[in-house]
């Protein structure tokens, strides 16, 4: 079994990416739980960690910077490649532009044009493929051209980069009682949990998935990685959380450090997007609002008392979708 990512790896990542990503603040949430209205804040204090404010609109920039900076000589000589239709694609394209590297991004041809355009606008080369060939085509390109592969989550450098969020949470709020984190491939929660458990072992780390894409919830219950089908996971509105199973590297950290993973309904996710806009003035994509939705609607399931942090992981969504969710 591979060695686990350590808090020292995460500290090294923090040094590496300092000044290249936004040092997001914790925002006190002034609204309440639905049942307690305005009194909620004092009874159940919530803080938001708005990774939606990264310049690419999601936390993915942290891992991408860390992974690419760790392999910079190779990346400079040969360029980088990845596969993603969403926030990781945009992050890798951004990092490549900032560092002056060539980037090739393999995107399923079913992806919305707006996401493809965003990646192209950053100067990356886009290779459109059948969704089934997404991983294999990227690895083929890496083998063929020597491109450095930057995986979306199943990679220790990616996990360490995302874990820098955990360091910042403990630094800003040493009394934190629980941290709530959206789960897809597991890179985000595994990094955060590793940092939190090293620095504040009594703090609970709780993952959140849509009920319609609850493979990690099931994995944690069964004690092994469980895969769902794309037909299942693609039912959720939370398009960033449709990965069909967590990665091997994240799983090693999750089983060690994550206390629980719970689920939220589609209605709860929609409600989360709405109230983050209204009461926290944050544009969150459905995936990014799941953590907040869990606090608002599944508070008892979190098993926490005291200060809670919800990681708002991203804010990329079409404006007509946002309008329909808040109007």
In angstroms, how far is CA 127 from the centroid of its own chain? 24
Taking the complex as a whole, the smallest distance from the CB of residue 247 to a second copy amounts, in Å, to 26
Closest approach of a second copy to the CB of residue 321, in Å: 10
101 binds a second copy (CB under 8 A): no
Least distance in angstroms from the C-beta of 325 to a second copy: 9
Structure tokens at 248: 């091997």
Say whether 49 is catalytic.
no
The torsion angles phi and psi of 88, rounded to 5 degrees, stand at -70, -40
**Residue closer to a second copy (CB basis): 143 or 171:** 171
Q: Is 24 in the site for a second copy (CB under 8 A)?
A: yes
CB 280 within 8 A of CB 326: no
* Tokens 């709530």 found at: 180
- 264 bridge partner residues: 210
Please identify which residue in 10, 17, 57, 304 interacts with a second copy, judged by CB under 8 A.
57
- Does the protein bind a second copy through residue 29 (CB under 8 A)? yes
Cα angle 57, 23, 240; round to 5 = 30
**What's the min distance (Å) between Cβ of 168 and a second copy?**
11
**CA Rg value for the chain:** 18
CA atoms within 13 A on the CB side of 137: 17
Q: Is residue 14 within the footprint of a second copy (CB under 8 A)?
A: no
Write out the DSSP string of 165-207.
HHHHHHHH-TT--EEEEE-SSSHHHHHHHHHHHHH-TTSEEEE
Whether 227 is a known active-site residue: answer no
Site stretch for a second copy (CB under 8 A), options 25-33, 160-168, 221-229, 236-244: 25-33
Instruction: Quote the CA–CA distance of 143 and 150 in Å, as a whole number.
Output: 13
Contact 94, 150 (CB under 8 A): no
Residue 216 has φ and ψ, to the nearest 5°, of: -75, -35
Please report how close the Cβ of residue 135 comes to a second copy at its closest, in angstroms.
Answer: 28
Among the listed residues 60, 85, 115, 197, the single catalytic one is 60
Backbone angles phi, psi at 206, to 5 degrees: -120, 125
278 part of the interface to a second copy, by CB under 8 A: yes
- Minimum distance of a second copy from residue 87's CB (angstroms): 12
When asked if residue 327 is in the footprint of a second copy (CB under 8 A), the reply is yes
User: Does residue 202 belong to the site contacting a second copy (CB under 8 A)?
Assistant: no
Of 162-201, which residues contact a second copy (CB under 8 A)? Answer: none
Which residue among 1, 2, 37, 202 contacts a second copy (CB under 8 A)?
Answer: 37
- Give the interface with a second copy as residue ranges (CB under 8 A): 22-25, 27-30, 37-38, 50, 52-53, 55-57, 94, 121-122, 274, 277-278, 280-284, 315-316, 319-320, 322-324, 326-327
Which residues are known to be catalytic? Answer: 60, 313
């Amino acid at each position: 079994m591979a060695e686990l990512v350590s808090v020292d790896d995460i500290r090294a990542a923090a040094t590496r990416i300092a000044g290249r990503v936004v040092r997001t603040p914790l925002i006190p949430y002034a609204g309440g739980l639905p049942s307690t209205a305005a009194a909620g804040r004092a009874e159940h204090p919530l803080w938001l960690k708005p990774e939606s404010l990264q310049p690419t609109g999601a936390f993915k920039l942290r891992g991408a910077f860390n992974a690419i900076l760790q392999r910079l000589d190779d990346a400079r000589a040969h360029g980088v490649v990845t596969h993603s239709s969403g926030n990781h694609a945009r992050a890798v394209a951004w990092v490549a532009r900032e560092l002056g590297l060539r980037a090739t991004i393999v995107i399923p041809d079913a992806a919305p044009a707006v996401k493809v355009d965003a990646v192209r606008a950053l100067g990356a080369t886009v290779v459109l493929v059948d969704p089934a060939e997404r991983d294999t085509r990227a690895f083929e390109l890496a083998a063929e051209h020597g491109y450095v592969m930057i995986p979306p989550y199943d990679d220790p450098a990616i996990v360490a980069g995302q874990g820098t969020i955990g360091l910042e949470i403990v630094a800003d709020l040493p009394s934190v009682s629980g941290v709530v984190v959206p789960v897809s491939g597991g890179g985000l929660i595994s990094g955060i949990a590793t940092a939190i458990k090293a620095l504040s072992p009594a703090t609970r780390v709780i993952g959140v998935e849509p009920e319609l894409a609850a493979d990690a919830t099931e994995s944690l219950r069964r004690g092994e990685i469980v895969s769902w089908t794309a037909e299942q996971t693609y039912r959720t509105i939370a398009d960033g959380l449709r990965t069909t199973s967590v990665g091997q590297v994240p799983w090693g950290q999750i089983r060690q450090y994550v206390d629980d993973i719970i689920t939220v309904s589609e209605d709860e996710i929609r409600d989360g997007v709405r109230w983050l806009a209204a009461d926290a003035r944050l544009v969150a994509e459905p995936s990014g609002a799941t953590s907040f939705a869990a606090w608002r609607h599944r508070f008892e399931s979190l098993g926490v008392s005291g200060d809670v942090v919800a990681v708002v992981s991203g804010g990329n969504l079409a404006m007509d979708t946002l309008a329909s969710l808040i109007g």
